[in-house]
Amino acid sequence: MKLSPLALGLSIALYAAVGSAATPTIAPVPADTTSTTAPATAPTQQPANSNTDDSTSDDDSQASRNRRAKEAKQLGTVSVTAALDQARNSLSPDTGSSEYVITAQDIQALPLGASTPMNQLLLQAPGVAQDSYGQVHVRGNHANLEYRIDGVMIPESISGFGQTLDPRVIQSVSLLDGSLPAQYGERTAAVVNMTTKSGADLENGGSVGITGGSFGTVNPYASFWGHSGNWSYFFTANYLENNVGIENPTASRDPIHDHTNQVKTFGDVSYLINSDMRLTLMFGTTDNRFQLPNNPGLSPQFGYLDITNFNSADLNERQDEQTRFGALALQGKFGDTAYQVSVGQRYSGLQYYPDEIGDLMFNGVAGQINQGDRASTLQADFSMPWATDHTLRYGLYGEFDRSYTNNYSETFPAIDGQQSSTTPISVFTGDRILAKTMAAYVQDEWQISDAWTVNYGLRGDRYEAFREESQLSPRVGVVWQATDSTTVHAGYSRYFTPPQTELISTENIEAFANTTNAVKNYGNNTPLAERSNYYDLGVSQNIGDHWTIGLDNYYEQASRLQDEGQFGTALIYSTFNYKYGKVRGNELTLTYKNGPWSGYFNFAFNRAMGKEVITSQYNFPPEQLAYIADNWIHLDHDQKYTSSGGLDYAITSNTKVGADYLFGTGLREDGLTPNGVSLPDYFQLNLSVSHDFNFDSFGDLHTKLALINALDRTFELRSGTGVGVGAPQFGPRRGVYLTLEKDF
């Protein structure tokens, strides 16, 4: 393994890991608070060498980005909810991993605030590259993200671009990547762990607002929260419509046929059974409707009856997506053992509606697709101290998926691949998949001394669908607190990553024989689980009271490397495998916080390569397969350099200005070889100004004006060529947006 300087903000996770074997520290409740559901003040995290007293700290944003937590003191009485939150947090170690934390305050500082889509929020973290359809790539992986809400894992949805989760529910979100402890599996590129806002920590109230502006954007939203007796609750809902639902396939300012309507809801209801036990029900829904944008000027490839011409600007393709999820979690403490046991279910559905005549004339097939997946889950995590310096953690996870695909297609007869009739014929194909995922883990966190912590464990995974696959995976992570201001971490993880059941499509290839949608039936049509070895090494350094710098190196060696591609007209991804894969990279993170000023800077290098396609080969032309069989190629989502950053200044307590940016050297496109060249560099600058007004008769009104892509620079995310790449997609053009928000 070749290591070079890299960087990532992971101070919070690393320092927390050093002290995690000690008694959890809980922030004090105000002296006049006696209710068991009274709000608790969250611990304020500071650089370890800071001289700032907790009582005079700036604000909770000091805990964000890659700041390392200052060891808090045990003070006074604590609330029951805060104690239970601490017990839940003790279930999830991060020793040896890299963690980047974004708080609710950081989210509000973004130009669009909490109206920022989840994928755009994750782009503020190091090593995260943006793609079309709302996808992001962490450290050279295609998707492969595990989402957790308050420690409960929520299986991914089918959609590649519909954003299911709403940042308005987030109190803080951490991106945990690198060498993960044995607790984490299934999706292994990174863990997106969200801590939700809680009515137990807030006064009874709510918020209503609206964001509107360019491209016909209208986004009203409302939230309300509170607590009564042993009950607490938090609910939020929002509606979004605009005329840029999916990235424009052309460089024009206004895409053609690109309207979207989206509705999202989330709820969290908790009941305190007693001081050591809490029952929580969380649920969420998403309904998204998209028009697929048109690319004018294309020429039809097929004739339809007596029609020989079709204007591609008049196509009317649409796609609808639905997600429903819910989980019931029992969490608490039994003696010295902390636990959380949850059962849940997630339904994900997608329907693609073609333009029957247009799709036939441009693609030789018009397929109406109905795809769905229902996942039922069981998760149990336990943590208990043993001996003097050890914390034992163990648990299990089970998932049962029922996935289906029903396709009704119109296509043309063909002889030797050439259209033989302009009268279409009908083909129906369908499939049902049953899949079982089972995993168990055990790990021990050993605090050898004040300076050294080791977490070692073993994870077992088993996946059953068309075949049975399993693996035992050792994990080990080490944290060294070299000085009060210097933290070093290192880790090794063996990973087992099963394919996403909701994305498996076992095409009935024979049904399309002798048609214009025929493909050669060769190869293995069912994806395989990926197996890999992952190494990570990094250091975090506090400089004075206000600066923190992080460096991180990582290397991954994979067999059966999983990738995803869009091989049809519908915006649905399909999984395939390379026989060999290798990913390496470096990350640098810098954060600053001093009075009214705060800022962050991330820079990452990445190389992600694959060789020899071994599953779903029917999606590839023979000459492409032949080249990849003998040569390493860049993965289509490989981006050499990625950077993000931001700067915020509070002019007064009511008026703030900010700026952030995204930079990338471009994803891949075909050159002389598959994925042989990268797209041009891009740079997107966003600006914002906010002010809180106070009206005698109305009260406080929060306002924010945002300018997205202030320089109006045109850049291409995808060119339409590359392995598994669909149509071209361009980044957003300049837009102006105003947010008005009223708390009550």
Which among 357, 371, 287 is positioned nearest to 322, based on CA atoms?
287
Amino acid at 474: P
Q: Considering the domain boundaries, does residue 275 fall inside one?
A: yes
The pLDDT of residue 479 is above 70:
yes
Tell me, what's the pLDDT at 564? 83
pLDDT value at 370 more than 70: yes
- Closest C-alpha among 507, 546, 273 to residue 367: 507
Q: Which residue's entry shows tokens 């069912």?
A: 526
Q: Using pLDDT thresholds of 50, 70 and 90, give the confidence band for residue 64.
A: very low
Give me the residue label for tokens 């008005």. 740
By the 10 Å C-beta count (0-12 exposed, 13-18 middle, 19+ buried), 657 is classed as middle
- State pTM to two decimals: 0.86
d(CA 519, CA 364): 12
Rounded to whole angstroms, how far apart are CA atoms 40 and 56?
A: 17
User: 356 lies in a domain?
Assistant: yes
**Cβ atoms 270, 279 nearer than 8 A:** yes
Is the per-residue pLDDT at 416 higher than 90? no
Phi-psi label, residue 216: left if phi above 0, alpha if psi -120 to 50, beta otherwise: left
Q: What is the dihedral of CA 467, 472, 473, 474, to 10 degrees?
A: 180
2-6, 7-11, 106-110, 574-578 — most confident range: 106-110
Residue 504 pLDDT grade (very low, low, confident, very high; cuts 50, 70, 90): low
Burial of 505 per CB tally in 10 Å (0-12, 13-18, 19+): buried
Q: What is the DSSP string of 210-251?
A: EEEEGGGEEEEEEEEEEEETTEEEEEEEEEEEES-SS--SSS
Cα 205 from chain centroid (whole Å)? 29
The pair of three-digit structure tokens given for residue 93, joined into one six-digit string: 């170690």
Per-residue pLDDT tens for 160-217? Answer: 544 688 899 999 999 999 999 999 998 999 999 999 998 988 889 999 999 999 999 9
Structure tokens belonging to residue 3: 């290591």
Which residues fall within 8 angstroms of residue 697, CB to CB, at 6 or more apart?
A: none
SS3 75: coil
Q: Please tell me what DSSP assigns to residue 161.
A: S
φ/ψ (deg, to 5) at 356: -55, -50
User: Positive or negative CA dihedral for 8, 10, 11, 17?
Assistant: negative
Q: Is residue 736 part of a domain?
A: yes
5 falls within a domain: no
Cα–Cα distance, 447 to 631 (Å, whole number)? 46
Contact 145/28 with Cβ under 8 angstroms? no
Q: Is 4 within the bounds of a domain?
A: no
Per the listing, tokens 């649409």 go with 318
CB atoms within 10 A of CB 385: 17
d(CA 677, CA 723) in angstroms, rounded, equals 12
403 neighbors 502 (Cβ within 8 angstroms): yes
Locate 651 and state its tokens: 């002019």
- The predicted pLDDT at position 740 comes to 97
In a domain, 140, yes or no: yes
Q: What percent of the chain has pLDDT over 90?
A: 71
Within 8 A by CB and 6+ apart from 477, the residues are 17, 93, 95, 96, 97, 179, 181, 454, 455, 456, 489, 490, 491, 492
Q: What is the CATH number of the domain that holds 306?
A: 2.40.170.20
Distance CA 313, CA 256 (A): 7
Q: Has residue 134 got a pLDDT over 60?
A: yes
- The two three-digit tokens of residue 331, written as one number: 């969490």
Q: What angle do CA 349, 350, 352 make, to 5 degrees?
A: 160
Domains held by the chain: number: 1
* pLDDT at residue 379 tops 90: yes
What's the distance, Cα to Cα, between the start and end of the chain in Å? 56
Residue 500, in any domain of the structure: yes
Q: Are 581 and 533 in contact (CB under 8 A)?
A: no
Q: Tens of pLDDT along 237-286?
A: 999 999 999 999 999 999 999 999 999 999 999 999 999 999 999 999 99
Q: What is the DSSP string of 1-49?
A: ----------HHHHHHHHHTTSPPP-PPPPTT---TT---PPPPP--TT
pLDDT of residue 502: 62
| 334-369 per-residue burial string, b: 16 or more CB within 10 A, e: under 16 | eeeebbbbbbbbbbbbbbbbbbebbbbbbbbbbbbb
d(CA 178, CA 94): 10
Segment 597-620, tens digit of pLDDT: 999 999 999 999 999 999 888 888
Residues 432-445: what's their mean pLDDT?
95
For the stretch 440-465, pLDDT in tens is: 999 999 999 999 999 999 999 999 98
Mean pLDDT, the chain, whole residue set: 86
How would DSSP label each residue in 688-742? EEEEEEEETTTEEEEEEEEEETTT----EEE-S-STT--S-EEPPPPEEEEEEEE
Q: Would you say how long the chain is, in residues?
A: 744
The parent domain of residue 465 ranges over 11-206+216-743
Give domain status of residue 145, yes or no.
yes
User: 86 with 332: CB under 8 angstroms?
Assistant: no
Backbone phi, psi, residue 39, to 5°:
-65, 140
Average pLDDT over residues 286-315: 94
Helix (H, G, I), strand (E, B) or coil at 547: strand
